[in-house]
Amino acid sequence: MFAGREKVKRTQRVIQFGEGGFLRGFCDWMLQIVNEQTEWSGSVVVVQPIEQGMCTMLERQDCMYTHVIRGVEGVDAKQIDVISRCVNPYEDYDAYLALAENPDFRFVISNTTESGISYCEGDRPEDRPQKSFPAKVTALLKRRFDLKLPGFVFLPCELIDKNGSTLKQLVLRYAREWNLGAEFEAFVERENVFCNTLVDRINTGFPKGEELNLGYEDKLLNTSEYFHLWVIEGPADKVLEIPFDKTELNVIVTDDMTMYRTRKVRILNGAHTAMIPYALLRGVETVGECMADETMSSFVKSCVYDEIIPTLDLPEQELLSYADSVFERFANPYIRHFCASIALNCVSKFKVRVLPSLLEYIKRRGEMPEKLLFSFARLIEFYKTGTPNDDKDVMDFMKNATVEEILSNQALWGENLSFLTQAIKKYL
């Protein structure tokens, strides 16, 4: 029992690699709502993905905790009891492999950080456990295959492009290296669905230094903003075995998530990257303070509404609504997002998040996007006179090179941008 509440017993349907704040405040929170609003009645078994994890803490609270959502909309607290139990493969590898024996398991969710979906040379099938997440998955799938049970639907939440496709390719790589046979490889290909996904929610974790007055102790208390979005690229008939569509959750199932990813990268991430060097040069410390600063707020909103949205191909109203929600999130008084932390590797971020909008605007309009050019100029000034946090070679080059040398450096931008020299110089 936790906080005077008896735990509801449900069918174990989801294997979840990861027990950190994001999964508990995103996927598990969603599955709790699915349970409350539909007849799905599913629970999660958490697999601790690294040797040092939080499973012991979860078990001390019967795998229950409180999630609090805070924003301008208000405060909403919900007790989450969707996790049925934890498995630590570093302590009991047999219990981990035994997960493959339960035919009710249908989904595998993961968040093993951006570096989690990666290859680890030296992982072997006889390891207990394997080091990498994909190798652990391969071992689990091999047991599933040997038992002649159906495969899984994978919903990875790691923040890399094509996370599902990448996980699948690594599983197949291990299958070949471990000589698991053509039939097993066919099982991986045919009987399992590896969805690419995009997740979007600012999760602020345990509210250190705050008192939320729950009326009980919760060492796993978790907090987030209201906004949430899960875009899943995969077959609707498989994904919606979890009936997200029977709830009001912001879950989009599509056969092509490219534009949703582009929307997030260009608008949300692009807005961050476009304003951060300018903000730090002005002495503004947080995103919230940027929104309260009339000059900064007007600048970044003009970047998005006037110069970024016109370069995107989703319906205009959808883009405008998303942009509105982004700026509401930026102004959330409960979230202190420091500009200095966003400033890490600003050059490579600018290349991916802002430069495509700048170049597409020129291509479509035949004119220069003045706010994005101003942002580019502030980026250069920040590396010359501010406090950037980047690769040493990048910082040294940006500090000492001329504007034309910077813009013509194809290693930084992927192409020669010297044609922008005069347009940017007027802002320096």
Structure tokens at 38: 């539909």
Does residue 52 lie within any of the structural domains? yes
- pLDDT reported for residue 1: 62
Looking at the domain assignment, is residue 4 inside a domain?
no
Same domain as 231, residue 355: no
Last residue of a domain, one of 231, 254, 277: 254
Whether 238 and 108 share a structural domain: yes
Which pTM does this prediction carry?
0.84
For 323-377, the pLDDT digits (tens) are 999 999 999 998 888 898 888 889 999 998 999 999 999 999 999 999 999 999 9
pLDDT band with cut points at 50, 70 and 90 for residue 114: low
Residue 50 has pLDDT above 80, yes or no: yes
Question: 287 lies in a domain?
Answer: yes
Q: What's the confidence (pLDDT) of residue 5?
A: 80
Q: The dihedral of CA 388, 394, 396, 401: what is its sign?
A: negative
What's the mean pLDDT in 190-196?
98
Q: Is residue 190 part of a domain?
A: yes
**Residue 317 identity (one-letter amino acid):** Q
Distances (CA, A) of 56 to 45, 91, 360: 14, 11, 50
Q: How many CB atoms lie within 10 A of CB 28?
A: 26
Q: Is residue 250 located within the same domain as residue 272? A: no
Q: What is the pLDDT of residues 401-421, one digit of tens each?
A: 999 999 999 999 999 999 999
User: What's residue 58's pLDDT?
Assistant: 95
d(CA 118, CA 120): 7
Q: What residues make up the domain containing 56? A: 11-254
Last residue of a domain, one of 236, 254, 272: 254
Judged against a pLDDT cut of 70, whether residue 190 lies above it is answered with: yes
225-239 confidence digits (pLDDT tens): 999 999 999 999 999
Number of Cβ atoms within 10 Å of the Cβ of 339: 21
